Structure 1
């Protein structure tokens, strides 16, 4: 049977791990050396369909990775150190299930050419609480992926993924995967931090909505020169969806990280995007401005 390693067993990684163990796959968990999961023995998923599963194979040293398929679900701020530690791997399928853009290329540069690098997103909303229970907060169990080298879909991989995400979609290149979600992440994360607003509150504050539309427009301009055509309506639909009571106490990931005094994913969401814009001579003044604000006014000492 295919062996799987999940690197980063937080909210999303914990959900992936729990579903795969429930489906009968041998799953190895890789966590930080101070993770509470090293002291526990079960994962608890709560929400609409709660369940719990035991686990045994847990490591904190990348030299002990044994999976054929490796899901990387840690925050992208940890990528530089992690990628360097994976240089010994060969003939693996590594899936970056993260926010941002441009990290697949950096991973491919750091590891052996025999490995396959894939990028993926999902619109699932999951939260890990202080008691290590993983709460599933919506039913958007989709998984959209692409091979960094633009190869065909991978049926054997999709069989595994469908145990976690029933809705699987393959796209022809990595930008078709990254840019649609990046438009939302880049447009909404900065305003949520700068103005201290929840998802719902973002849709009610005119100053925040204006910033969101300016940022989304610039992301669409960059996406277009990379062959991805996004519509303004896509962003409008997201804002309409968030304008309900269910999202009054829900926050974008960067706001949660800031409030939790954790590093924010500025590099993957904003800096990499600005680099791509600069290469193609696309002016992005609002993206430049909010990135500067995040880097100078909202970094924890």
Structure 2
């Protein structure tokens, strides 16, 4: 596989940041835009970053996937709440030998996308990125940025590292984006949930930034208990995460700048929450293996309530 062209489906805080970095490094990148299409076509993309600010005055932007060229690598950076649109979108933009790289949070997403494009055309990317979209075509990168890449195979069977993983990793690294290659995508997904489940969930329910959650003994204790419950979930899928990993994630968050998680931003902006992908799917997977995760289940039901109320408010106000 020789990569000549990237597509970004979802040019937000994450897709916009990675896509802009790739274009800045000289790669051919095509962006699907939504509400800020007109603005970006006229003014380009602006990235404020701890690694150095830059502007792309001109980008290949589209407001309809049908107008996009066929691409070798499709970066899916939409919220998972919009994944029902992908069955229409992906066939219109992926080359015959192309690959979909899923840069989304949660569990089981690759399985759904494989049903559209086939098992051998899907990869997962776990993004450790603190980035917010602060205006039309304007992204603020606060911290981190590493991606862990893994190939998807049926039932998340580990397949090791492949040439196309290395090629994509080389492109990202040429753009200043650190990449690690994972031989086991499912393990990587569960590891990411060790962070995502406690911080995304509690930030909404307790109305707190990551720093506030870490500063209070009670919320910090709850974060830690949730992390251990995710490890139990992983074990039910035959994936072992060491207790040391919990300490690493706590240290990682202690060292972060105060951060409003993506789920908290969605909640504050009255957008649908990614409850099923991040909480529902792991609960189902564990339950299938006969394992209950009571704390995560409690978060799930609280978030479903808040999400439903938020959507009602959004519908009334529109």
- TM-score under structure 2 length normalisation: 0.86
CA RMSD of aligned residues (A): 2.2
Contact kept? 1:143, 1:165, Cα under 8 Å: no
**1:109 paired residue number:** 115
Note the alpha carbon deviations across 1:46-75, whole angstroms, 9 max, x for none.
133111113342223233342111111111
Quick check: 1:191 aligned with 2:179? no
**How many residues end up aligned between the 2 structures?**
297
**2:58 paired residue number:** 55
**2:237 paired residue number:** 226
In 2, Cα distance between equivalents of 1:25 and 1:37: 22
Query: How many angstroms does 1:291 deviate by?
Result: 0.4
Alignment match of 2:294 (pick from 279, 285, 293): 285
Alignment match of 1:27 (pick from 26, 29, 45): 29
Quick check: 1:168 aligned with 2:179? yes
In 2, Cα distance between equivalents of 1:279 and 1:241: 32
Unaligned 5+ segments in structure 1 are: none
SS at match of 1:122: strand
Contact kept? 1:142, 1:165, Cα under 8 Å: no
In 1, Cα distance between equivalents of 2:59 and 2:148: 29
Quick check: 1:269 aligned with 2:275? no
Alignment match of 1:68 (pick from 64, 72, 76): 72
**1:42 paired residue number:** 44
In 1, Cα distance between equivalents of 2:133 and 2:306: 27
Quick check: 1:247 aligned with 2:234? no
In 1, Cα distance between equivalents of 2:287 and 2:37: 39
In 2, Cα distance between equivalents of 1:243 and 1:108: 37
Alignment match of 1:85 (pick from 89, 111, 114): 89
Unaligned 5+ segments in structure 2 are: 154-158, 313-318
In 2, Cα distance between equivalents of 1:165 and 1:96: 20
Quick check: 1:130 aligned with 2:130? no
In 2, Cα distance between equivalents of 1:241 and 1:112: 36
SS at match of 2:135: coil
**2:12 paired residue number:** 10
In 2, Cα distance between equivalents of 1:297 and 1:141: 30
Quick check: 1:94 aligned with 2:100? yes
Contact kept? 1:4, 1:26, Cα under 8 Å: yes
- TM-score under structure 1 length normalisation: 0.90
In 1, Cα distance between equivalents of 2:36 and 2:233: 40
Query: How many angstroms does 1:135 deviate by?
Result: 1.5
Contact kept? 2:39, 2:136, Cα under 8 Å: no
Contact kept? 1:10, 1:128, Cα under 8 Å: yes
In 1, Cα distance between equivalents of 2:66 and 2:160: 28
Query: How many angstroms does 1:112 deviate by?
Result: 4.5
Query: How many angstroms does 1:152 deviate by?
Result: 2.8
